[in-house]
């Protein structure tokens, strides 16, 4: 497993170095009246990529925080409902009236007999 990890790391570094070599021409960004210093284009692209990844990390952190709060609430509700269920299971069953599911039929009053 460690060999595969090292091969993948080596491949990623090789691709990044090739990318940096191919995109080394200086580039200057303009935003309104603000201008950046000339920097290699691969550096600007990498900074943009890392900034986007950082913003995505922050957004996912807040999403995880919201999901964990919801999970805590659901666990609390589950515990409450389980307590209610257990109390209902312990209640004795008392019948106040005896009811039958089917009415009694008399021997001579069967329908369909002549």
pLDDT tens digits along 74-103: 999 999 999 999 988 888 877 766 656 666
Over 80: is that where the pLDDT of 6 sits? yes
C-alpha count within 13 angstroms, C-beta hemisphere, residue 2: 0
Q: What pTM was computed for the model?
A: 0.55
Q: Which is more confidently placed, 105 or 32?
A: 32
User: Residue 102 phi/psi, 5° resolution?
Assistant: -120, 140
What integer best gives the mean pLDDT of the chain?
86
Over 90: is that where the pLDDT of 56 sits? yes
Domain boundaries, the chain: 8-83
Tokens 């497993």 map to which residue? 1
Nearest CA to 22 out of 9, 1, 41, 38 is that of 41
Gap between the Cα atoms of 75 and 21, Å rounded: 54
């Amino acid at each position: 497993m460690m060999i595969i990890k090292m091969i993948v790391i080596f491949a990623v570094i090789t691709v990044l170095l090739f990318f940096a070599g191919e995109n080394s021409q200086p580039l200057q960004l303009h935003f309104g009246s603000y201008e950046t210093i000339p920097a290699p284009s691969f550096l600007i692209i990498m900074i943009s990529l890392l900034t986007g990844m950082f913003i995505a990390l922050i957004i996912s952190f807040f999403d995880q925080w919201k999901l964990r709060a919801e999970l805590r609430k659901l666990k609390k509700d589950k515990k409450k409902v389980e307590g209610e269920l257990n109390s209902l299971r312990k209640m004795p069953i008392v019948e106040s009236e005896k009811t039958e599911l089917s009415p009694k039929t008399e021997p001579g009053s069967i329908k369909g007999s002549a």
